[in-house]
Structures are given as C-alpha cells and as structure tokens.
A and B are shown apart, each in its own frame.
Chain A
Amino acid sequence: MINYVIRRLLWVVVILWGVSLLTFVVTYAVPADPARLYAGVHASADTVRSIRHQMGLDRPVYVQYLDYLGRVARGDFGYSYHLGLPVLPAIMDRFPATAELALGGILAELLIGLPVGILAAMWRNSPFDRFILLMSLLGISAPSFWLGLILLYYLGYVWPIFPLGGYGGIQNLVLPSLALGITGAGWYARMLRSTLLDILGLDYVRTARAKGVRGALVVLRHMLPNALSPILTMLGLDLGYFLGGVLVIETVFGWPGIGRQGWEAITYQDVPMIMGTVLFAALVIVLMNLVIDLSYGFLDPRVRYD
C-alpha cells in the first residue's frame, strides 16, 4: 500500500506540472493585457508600457513560465497583480471559508439525499417514491444561483430566519449550504435508490429477511454498506470540486471563498493568482481522489493496493 501511495503522489507532481503548463498557455493565449487591466483604461499608453516592464510581462512567454516554475519550486507563487498580496497566503486566507462551504454543502447533500434515497428504495413504486423522483429531478435541474436567490429572498428577506448572505457564524452557512447541497442531494438520492434496488434481489439480503431481520435493519446493516461505494466516489468528486471554490454560490451569498477570488483574477487577467488558484484546486481534487481510492480498501476488504 505504501508503494501505491508513493506512486500516486509522484503522479500528483506530474499532473500539477501538466495543469500549470496548460493554464499558462491558455492564459497567455487569451487576448487580454494584464498591464492595461492593472493600470485601468484611464492610464496613458506610456504608463501601461512601464507597468508591463515592471511586471516582467515584456519577456518571452517561455522565459516567464520557466521563471514561474523556478519560483514555485521554492514555494513562491508570486504576487497578485490585482490585490498586491502574495498568492499562496491569499488563497490560504480564503480556504477556511471555502472549506466551511464545502463541508456545509456535503452535509446538506448527505442529510437530504441519503435518507430520501433509502426511503424511496424501501417504499419503491409508492406515491412517495414517485414524489421523491420528481423532486430530485427538480433539484438536479434547478440552477444553483437561482436556488440561492430564492432561498435568500424568502428565508432572508420575506421571513428573516437567516442573514442576507455574508460570512460569519453557522447561521450564515445554512442558506449557501442548502443552495449548494440541494442539487447534489437529488443525485445522491437517485443513485442510492438505484443501488439499493440492485442489491435488494441478492441472496444475502433474502437470507437476512428469511432469518427474520427487520426491514430497516436489513437496509441499514446489510444493504447500505455495500451501496455506499458509488456514493463515496461522488462524495470525493464533490468535495474536491467544492474545495476548489464554488463561484456561483459565493457570488450570490457574498461568500469570501476561493471561487470568487479566482473569478476576479480571471476578470483582471491576474496571471499569478489564476495560476495559484488553478494549481491549488487541482491539488485538492487530486488528493481527494487519492483519499477516496484508499478508503475503498476500508469499506471492502477484497480491495488490494499493489
């Protein structure tokens, strides 16, 4: 297993290098001038030229990339053109807010999706089951920004149960977590329902029932552990995706996460921040995938790592 982990970590380095190269190339292929954006449209052409030189943007692109790689190897991700802050600390400052929102979103997905999926499987083909399928479809289809605005308006303004966005305590986290989690909850409910129905006809389940085990215990103790594998995969993907920043939800709720910061970086062609944000998000996703892959071994003793 240790060899497996080492191999995967080495691949992380290769993947991150590939991501950095692709991002750098795409960033420079976009017809946008970071120096002009930094200086503003009111600045004279001479001023912009001077700023471009100070930023080192008048050097050949490959020189800029190699210089960037060298600094990253020393832990220096550069300074944000737009914010004037060192990139890595700026991202890490925002990471706690992003992590909170990610965990809140995952919790909402699990707390809504899992019970609903289980009940839908247990009462399959009932009116409740059909209702759940319809609601999960609506949840999957609804754009999260629209969901966010609806939640804000009704639960923050019309009936002021929660704050109107912003970052602070648990009460600020509820609405954005719901907006983020409702869509995913639909997926989890349908996935779990489908997997449970597949397992329902297996011999060990029939044996458990024949032995007199109660329905709920059959589901929870015998069926659920075997049905969780695809859920775990989705969880890992979702968590990795959320931890890279969820721009739409962060914008609707004014949440100070990595997503909004990354979007502002793109708007201002803030190359160091774009690179730092993309690399950070890629690292998180790749590490989350590794954690999920390793967790299969705990869930299923038959899984071996070579």
Chain B
Amino acid sequence: MRKYTTGKRLASALLACVLVAPALSQQPARADSSRAAGGGSLTVTTQADIPSLDPAIAYDWTGYNTIHNIFDGLLDYKPGTLQLEPSIAASWPKISADGLVWTFTLRKGVMFQAPVNREVHASDFKFSWERILNPKTASPGVGFFLSIAGAKEYNAGKAKDVSGIKALGPYTLQVRLVKPYVPFKYVCAMTFAYVVPREIVEKYPKDFSHHAVGTGAFRLAQWVPGQKIVLERNPHYFQAGLPHLDKVTFMIGPAPNVAILQVQRGEADIPTDEIPAEDYLSLKTDPQWANKIYRIPSVAVAYMFMNTQVPPLTNKSVRQAIAMAIDKRRIIAVGTAGLGKVTGGVLPPLMPCYNPNLKTWPYDVTQARKLLAKAGYPHGFSTTITASGTSLGQARVEQVIQRDLSQIGIKATIKMAIGSTYTTLITTPKAVQIAQTSWTLDYPDPSDFIDPILTTVASENGGSNFAFYRNPTVDALAAKADQEQDQAKRCSLYHQIEQIIVTDAPWVPLYTPEHATIVSSHVAGFYMSPIWYEFDFKYYRAAS
C-alpha cells in the first residue's frame, strides 16, 4: 500500500520529484512491449458498479469488458477488428445452401474454470441458449435468438426444449433457423451466446452472476459489490500463451475525472469510462500525456430524432428544413471536444455496407428557412427538446441544437427528464417532440442499425424507433436484406434503405463518436476494440 507523507517529509518528496521529473518525462509515449514480461497485474477503474456478470442478463457497457474476459462463445472478434473468427468453435460453421442449418464443430479440450473443471460440450451450448429463451431467466437477449426454429414456442412455454438446437455429439452443435438470417453469425459472438456451466447455474439459480464461471482467459476471483472486482489468470485457458497478465483489478467508484488523476499518479492503469471533454482538452495540451491518449472511432451514431407522429414534425419538408439547419461541426467542437466526425447517414463508417456516396442534407441555413416557409411555417413554430441530462457534453449539444433551430425561426424549449423517466418518455408515442441520443452496435451488421430503430415494428409497444418512423418500403427492403446472402446485393439494399431514410429525415444524424482513453506506462500491448467491449485484457501486458 502506498504511504503518504506529511509536513517536512512531503517537502523533501516534492523536491525529489522536481529533480527526477525531467528524467521521467523522457519515457516513450507507448510502453515498449519488448520490455514487457509475462505476468503482472493491471488496475482499471469504472465509475458504475457492474450490475451483472451473468451473460444471459448483462446488457450494459460496464459489464461487457469483464464478461468478455471470463466467458467465451462459439465465435469471437479478431483483436482490434470487426472480423469474426472461431473461438470455442474449432472452425467456421458449415452453413447449408439454403442458409437454414448451421453446424458448429467444437474444439476439444476447452475447459470450464474451477470449480467445474470439465470439458465444454455441445450440450452446454444448448443449455446456455435455452436458458436465454426461458422466460423465467428474464433475459434481455431473447430477441436475438428468436430466429432459431422452436425458439418462439419454447419462450412461450409451449415446448419443453428448443427443437432447432441439437447436440449431435459432444463436439457437434447444430442450429436450424426459421428462415435465412445472415446476421446470425454475429449473434453467436454476442455475450448472450457465451457458454455457462449447468452445475453452477443450478446451484445458484438466482445469483449465477456473483458466482460466474466460464471458459475465459480470466476467472472471477473476488467481487466486493461497489468496491472492486478481481480477475485472475485462468491457467487452463484454451488459447495457448494467453492471458499475459496474472491479474486485473477493477476499482469501482472513481468518477472519470478522478480516474484520470489516478492514472497520472500511478494509482490506476486504465480508466474504462469515457474521458470527459474538458479533461481530454487539457490532456491533449499536456506534453507528458498528449502522446498517451488512445482514440478509436466507435461503430455508433449520435443523432437527433424528430417525432414523426407529432405535428408539425409530421411534415417531411419541416424535418428536412431542420436537417439543414443543424451545425454539426459546432456540435462536435462544443459537445465532444472534437471526439467525433460529422455524419449525414445512419450507418457509421466502420459498418459494412457504409455508403460514402450517400446524398445527405448540407448545412444551409438559408435553404432551410426557404424550405420551412414553403412547408407553411414562414415564421417558424414552437417545440420542445427533451433532454436526459446524462452529461455536460450532451447538455451543450442540446443547447447548440436549440440555437440552430432559433436561426430558422423555431423556438425550442429544453425540458429535462432524468435517465429513468427519459427512457420511458422517448418510447411513449407523442410524449417527446425532439431529443438527442445515440445508437451503438450490438454487432457490425447494417441490420442492427435499421431493424431495431427505424422499422415500423420497432415503433410499436415501446420499441426503440424513437422517431416513430413508419415506412412500409423501408420495412420490406429491410426484411429482404435480412435474408439476402449475397453481400453485394445486401449492401445495395441497405444503400437504398439508408437513402430513403435520409430523404425522409426522421433523424438528423449528427456525428460518429470517438472513444478516447489514456493508459499508464505500466501497460504494454494496449489497443482499443471498436466492438462493444473496448478493452481486451487477455492481450495486454504489464510493462516491466
């Protein structure tokens, strides 16, 4: 434990620091991995407590970094990329010509961690996936598995098991789909699809989370709620040579700005929360830390949505006028300290089928005023922007939007609603007129940015189509794209979908966010992933 000095001893320590500091500042910007040895430990910070380590339940960004390191699934993403590769599956699945039958061959020798200590078999995957679909589990991931034959019946309590999931042998898992579903490969890489041991689930039916046992590079050694989570190396991990670290400790509680101070003081190595915009600006200009900042574009889109069911936003020309009035460059500068890139479309640049030739609405206040007048509102109108108040940056963005709207005569009042109320309001028809939010990928397939947020079915019964945008042409094209197995044809369909949506303007896509963090010199081999788990601890090392 670090000792803390006072009085004269502090003065001496400060003097020593002043003398030594120039030498310390000569350290390389990124720790040299050739100096790194195996073993060692890292300390990471996270402000919010992790609600669950149960792969069937966890559906939040705080848990992903931990869950991904304790559990594995059939498929996983290549480090730092959006490309899939086999994980517990020994090879890429055999897919039948009609796209309905997926057959996975499992690796031999993949072991569940202690205290289970036995090999993973295909029946374990059947158990784990049926557990998701069991209504008693109350898993948020049910929807991702309903493409499997028999899943709906099982979920409705009308079948004793999921007929479409079969363990043909200890190492052969066969999955039959209801209809071809191209994104299914990504479902197999989601945390919901990670394999769990029946023995532990049955022993702790209500609290598997706090007794999590998986197959991953690290095992859960200790969890003190609200304080820390300790992961220790799994000595029997199936990927030889991994992990490099002996231990990763998650310190729970530090606010993001305090976490940065902890890294700078050497009390922590990696802050997993977003760097606040103000701190990012000061780190950028700090010569000691400027070259220790890591940035990665996210596969996400920040957007402003307009409720297409509330007049006058029902009028397409009004929405198009608003789309031309928003100064996105200013929003990035003011709201994100530059951590973002302007976008005019729904799909972010890293998403497959991204269309660089998409026709988007330019920033043109004069044209916007003309279009609004032509739409019958020469003097503008009054509206409200519902704000969630989750961050200072978001509040600034809403103020910029308010200002931009005023330039074309629209008087927008900002109304605050705290997190829980905000989420309910934006899913309630006609409760919200304009609001700003973002959508981050579940998996890198364009269907993930269309089906759950811009189709008619997603606008019903509290779905995530917050603009309540309903276009039967988009619905039909999206359904066709879900089943199209030719990638070029698929992308062509998504180009059409995206162009229709941008033209109809239920949204004003604002920017693609970038994630940034700093790491201490103690970390070697660091990189950030563009997928939802940003930190892949099994590949990191502790620098000597």
Contacts and interface: CB of A to CB of B under 8 A. Distances in A.
A33 interface: yes
B143 A46 contact: yes
A3 B305 CA distance: 64
Nearest to A53: B135
Interface stretch (A63-71, A107-115, A165-173, A179-187): A165-173
Interface in A35-67: 36-51, 53-55
Contact of B461 (A30, A49, A251, A253): A49
B27 interface: no
Interface string B2-16: 101110001000100
B473 interface: no
Contacts of B139: 47
Interface string B207-243: 1011000000000000011110000000000000000
Contacts of A153: 261
B298 interface: no
A43 B225 contact: no
Contact of A41 (B10, B138, B423, B460): B423
Interface in A76-90: 79, 82-85, 90
B421 A32 contact: yes
B163 interface: no
Interface of A: 30-34, 36-51, 53-55, 79, 82-85, 90, 93-94, 97, 152-153, 156-157, 159-169, 171, 251-257, 260-261, 264, 266-269
Given A54-B138, A165-B254, A267 B420 contact: yes
22 contacts: A32-B423, A33-B424, A33-B427, A36-B423, A38-B140, A41-B427, A42-B442, A47-B139, A50-B138, A55-B138, A83-B225, A152-B258, A163-B2, A163-B267, A164-B254, A164-B262, A165-B254, A165-B258, A256-B225, A256-B226, A264-B48, A269-B420
Contacts of A94: 225-226
Centre residue among A37, A39, A90, A171 by max chain B CB count within 10 A: A39
A169 B261 CA distance: 20
Interface in B54-85: 54, 57, 59-60
Contact of B264 (A40, A157, A159): A157
Contacts of B336: none
B24 interface: no
Nearest to B54: A84
A235 B284 CA distance: 47
B419 interface: yes
B387 interface: no
B190 to A, nearest CB: 11
Contacts of B51: 82-84
Given A164-B258, A166-B253, A256-B227, 20 more contacts: A30-B420, A33-B427, A36-B424, A38-B140, A39-B140, A43-B141, A43-B143, A48-B461, A83-B52, A84-B206, A152-B258, A161-B6, A162-B4, A163-B267, A166-B254, A252-B255, A254-B252, A260-B226, A264-B48, A268-B419
B418 interface: yes
Given A39-B140, A163-B4, A33 B423 contact: yes
A90 B143 contact: no
Contacts of B225: 83, 85, 90, 93-94, 256
B378 interface: no
Contacts of A85: 207, 210, 225
Contacts of A161: 4-6, 10
A31 B425 contact: yes
Contacts of A50: 135, 138, 142, 155
B428 interface: yes
* Residue of B54, B139, B428, B458 contacting most chain A CB atoms (<10 Å): B139
A306 to B, nearest CB: 44
A261 B226 contact: yes
A192 B60 CA distance: 50
B47 A254 contact: yes
B514 to A, nearest CB: 21
A143 to B, nearest CB: 15
Nearest to B268: A164
Contacts of B52: 83-84
Contacts of A162: 4
B255 A251 contact: yes
A113 B124 CA distance: 63
Contact of A31 (B253, B421, B442, B460): B421
Contacts of B210: 84-85
8 A-B pairs closest in CB distance: A254-B253, A256-B226, A32-B420, A45-B461, A44-B143, A39-B140, A269-B420, A54-B138
B59 A39 contact: yes
Contacts of A266: 418, 420
Nearest to B4: A161
B49 interface: yes
A54 B140 contact: no
A258 to B, nearest CB: 10
A65 B59 CA distance: 28
Q: Which of A94, A161, A162, A164 has the most chain B CB atoms inside 10 A of its CB?
A: A164
B169 interface: no
B385 interface: no
Interface in B5-37: 5-6, 10, 14
Contacts of B48: 264
Contacts of A39: 59, 140
Contacts of B429: none
A165 B258 CA distance: 8
Given A79-B206, A171-B4, A160 B461 contact: no
Nearest to B428: A31
Interface string B171-214: 00000000000000000000000000000000000110110000
Contacts of B224: 256
B105 interface: no
B464 interface: yes
A71 B264 CA distance: 49
Nearest to B437: A41
A47 B140 contact: yes
A43 B26 CA distance: 49
B253 A48 contact: no
B379 interface: no
Contacts of A51: 138, 140
B135 A54 contact: yes
Contacts of A255: 253
B158 interface: no
B371 to A, nearest CB: 31
Given A44-B452, A157-B265, A254 B255 contact: yes
Contacts of A159: 10, 14
Given A254-B252, A264-B49, A43 B428 contact: no
A152 B47 CA distance: 16
Contact of A256 (B135, B207, B253, B255): B253
A144 B261 CA distance: 20
Contacts of A33: 423-424, 427, 462
A167 B57 CA distance: 28
Contacts of B425: 31
A261 B418 CA distance: 17
A42 B59 contact: yes
B39 interface: no
A254 B251 CA distance: 9
A272 to B, nearest CB: 13
Contacts of B140: 38-40, 42-43, 47, 51
